[in-house]
Copies of this chain bind each other. A is one copy, B any other.
Amino acid sequence: MSTDKKQLKIGVFLAGTGHHVASWRHPDAQADGSINLDYFKRLAQTAERGKLDMLFLADSLSISPDSHPNVLARFEPFTLLGALSQATSKIGLAATASTTYSEPFHVARQFASLDHLSGGRAAWNIVTSSIESTALNFSGEQHLEHSLRYQRAEEFVEVVRGLWDSWDDDALIRDKADGIYFAPDKLHELNHKGDYFSVRGPLNVPRSPQGHPVLIQAGSSDSGQNLAARTADLIFTTQNHLKDSQAFYQSVKQKAVSFGRKPGDVSIMPGIVPFIGDTVQEAQAKFKELQELIIPSVGLKILSSYMGGLDLTQFPLDGPLPDLDIEVNAVKSRFQLIKDLAKRENFTILELSRYIAGSRGHNIFVGTAEQLADHFIRWVEEGACDGFNLMPPLLPEGLDLFVDRVVPILQERGVFRKEYEGSTLREHLGLQRPASRYAK
């Protein structure tokens, strides 16, 4: 590309009917979207038409009757991405997998296999599973305390990366005449023995097109930031304000450098929930339409779930959030973000619950396509991020609008590709293909 402008990285987080809690109630919503393959294929193909870097799937391993419709009944990510790999040819495919309730051998294998099937488009969103009830679906093993989950996660990722290097890139010779299928000195046992895992290897999948599938991390706590700065290629984060995001950006890049990496080795992509209209008024009307579809009891339950299960009905709902300081084994960084938000916006609890339920703490943007493009460019130019993880409030509309209205503006301004230059996700993101740990 003949421009020297910094290129934006853009992913889309596909979540059933959309990221707004009431999206499924909207007349235009595909109410069964979370378990409808044709619908997912259409979304994936739209994102690829818009030349986005990747699509992203969240995951969870337990539900309750209070879970969101997008979460209650949906596809398992690897089977779904296996299918979507055949409906697309360029866009990256990111799946979430937990380091707390799985085994490194299984996870290494699933991502390596997906990377082969998709021609080098797989990415792993590393999560530690913050929902305590998940343990109840996995033979009641004690849910690990926050810092222990991250210790386990660090070791888990290390094992997975080791397994991905089991085969040298040129190990498989397949010499029919001499009967030599592979070079024995190019197949490696890992022989990992650590605090949480002991894994001999080797993996039964050859080294994949990307060498290592792309690593994504989404925790914003100190432990999460450390894990990300040490190992992740991409960070998904919740950032509502430019200055906060700049500080986070600086902090993570500095940590990365302290771990011996280059600042460009890790990219930061905040989530954003854009309501896009031809005018600001139209965008505001779209936001209001969805907000009014939120059932108050649902909003309160969601807010509570973001605050470690705190019972909010004990406080006057038309009053402010009391200044709480509760120790919970939940996502700590989110708890603080929500408290800060409530204070800054002077929300009542009910207003806060609607706001949180509508955005899930992420940055809500309401405006025109032009304004959203300006916003994207400003945040990247001012060192607040390297791009965005798009969280359309209503699907497919929000993705269609982004691709048809916003992407052309970004392309016009020379900050986003008009065609995919490469074919792997690493190539889209400008990341090197990592050498094997056994390379000489």
Contact = CB atoms under 8 A, between A and B. Distances in A.
Contacts of A85: 82-83
A24 B181 contact: yes
Given A60-B204, A62-B204, A78-B82, 12 more contacts: A32-B172, A61-B105, A69-B181, A72-B181, A72-B182, A76-B114, A79-B81, A83-B83, A83-B85, A103-B139, A136-B198, A136-B200
A140 B191 CA distance: 11
A151 interface: no
A29 interface: yes
Instruction: Give the 3 A-B residue pairs with the shortest CB-CB distance, closest first.
Output: A82-B82, A76-B113, A136-B200
B176 A29 contact: yes
A198 B76 CA distance: 21
Contacts of A179: 25, 293, 295, 298
Contact of A110 (B78, B83, B293, B295): B78
Nearest to A32: B174
A116 interface: yes
Given A72-B182, A200-B137, A79 B117 contact: yes
Interface in A137-169: 137-140, 167
Given A83-B82, A86-B87, A184 B65 contact: yes
B60 A105 contact: no
Contacts of A198: 136, 139-140
A147 B105 CA distance: 25
A31 interface: yes
A114 B79 contact: yes
A379 B200 CA distance: 44
A197 B139 contact: yes
Interface in A62-89: 62-63, 65, 67, 69, 71-76, 78-83, 85-87
A331 interface: no
Interface of A: 24-27, 29, 31-32, 35, 37, 60-63, 65, 67, 69, 71-76, 78-83, 85-87, 101-103, 105-106, 109-110, 112-114, 116-117, 133, 136-140, 167, 172, 174, 176, 179, 181-182, 184, 187, 196-202, 204-206, 293, 295, 298
A179 B295 CA distance: 8
Contacts of A35: 116, 205-206
A103 B138 contact: yes
Contacts of A106: 102, 106
Contacts of A187: 65
28 contacts: A25-B179, A26-B176, A31-B174, A60-B204, A61-B105, A63-B204, A67-B204, A69-B174, A72-B181, A72-B182, A72-B204, A73-B167, A73-B205, A76-B78, A76-B114, A78-B78, A79-B110, A79-B117, A80-B82, A82-B82, A82-B83, A83-B83, A83-B117, A105-B138, A133-B200, A137-B201, A138-B199, A139-B197
A60, A103, A110: most-surrounded residue (chain B CB, <10 A):
A103
Contacts of A25: 176, 179
A61 B86 CA distance: 26
A424 to B, nearest CB: 15
A1 to B, nearest CB: 31
A157 to B, nearest CB: 15
Contacts of A29: 176
